[in-house]
Amino acid sequence: MIISHRHKFIFVHLHKCAGTSVTRALIPYLGRNDLVFGCTPKYERISKQSRNSGGPHKHSTAKEIREYVGDERWHEYLKFSFVRNPWDLVLSKYFWWHKTPGDWSETSSATKKRIMEMPFSEYAKNYGKNQSFYKSMVSSANASEIDLDFVGRYETLDADFEKLCQELHFPAISLLSLNTSSEMREKPSYVDYYDEESREVIAKVYAKEIENFGYQFGA
């Protein structure tokens, strides 16, 4: 997540939507007082006080960021993010658990171990029970409304990032492929990992997001 006072923009970093790649691409253009939450320890730009205060973090929601910067800056700054087909996103998250080292807290390590022992269809059914992703991430006031100025898509990442650079008056910037888990997929499409029940679970939980962004299963 980035808050740039120099260029007056806010980047809302959604899970598994190329956020690390976007952040790394924008970092060279940031000012001294701009903030980078998360990414990697090397590139993070926040004070120890902020890190320990329980304030904003890498995947803060639009609502949380708005409360942090205040309404005046929220309305003044360009706010953007990137979204992804929910069925593909959930699969990516599943493989992220498999790929990422387990040197976290005891609770997280136990979660990783449990996920690695379950087939994807079971993970999708459990993951989808009580979660709503895009709505909580990109809405700051009314939970049913998108409160961002620009929303790009993972599926058209390069073209949409080029449009974003134009909005920010930056030169064309190439994106690196970072923090991906695509190499772990053995089947050609995310569609091949779903059964009917797991497909419907994700469709139900992410119904509002699917409506907002026009996503379809297999498209």
Q: What share of the chain in percent tops pLDDT 90?
A: 50
Q: Could you report how far apart the first and last alpha carbons of the chain are, in Å? A: 28
Of 137 and 57, the structure prediction assigns the larger pLDDT to 57
| Domain that residue 171 falls in | 2-213
Average pLDDT, the chain: 84
| Residue 117 DSSP label | T
Of 181 and 191, the structure prediction assigns the larger pLDDT to 191
pTM of the predicted model, to two decimals? 0.85
Query: For residue 45, is it within any domain?
Result: yes
Say how far apart CA 207 and CA 215 lie, in whole Å: 10
Using the predicted structure, report yes or no on whether residue 181 has a pLDDT greater than 70. no
Query: For residue 218, is it within any domain?
Result: no
Of 73 and 206, the structure prediction assigns the larger pLDDT to 73
Write out the two tokens for 201.
């679970």
Query: For residue 63, is it within any domain?
Result: yes
Using the predicted structure, report yes or no on whether residue 104 has a pLDDT greater than 70. no
Q: Distance of CA 163 to CAs 113, 152, 159, 168, 188, Å? A: 40, 9, 6, 9, 29
Using the predicted structure, report yes or no on whether residue 47 has a pLDDT greater than 70. no
Query: For residue 219, is it within any domain?
Result: no
| pLDDT at res. 46 | 65
| pLDDT at res. 43 | 63
Give how many domains the chain has, as a whole number: 1
* pLDDT one-digit tens code per residue, 116-174: 889 999 999 887 665 555 555 677 665 567 889 999 999 999 999 999 999 999 999 99
Task: Go through 178-195 and write b for each residue having 16 or more CB atoms within 10 A of its CB, e for each that does not.
Answer: ebebeeeeeeeebeebbe
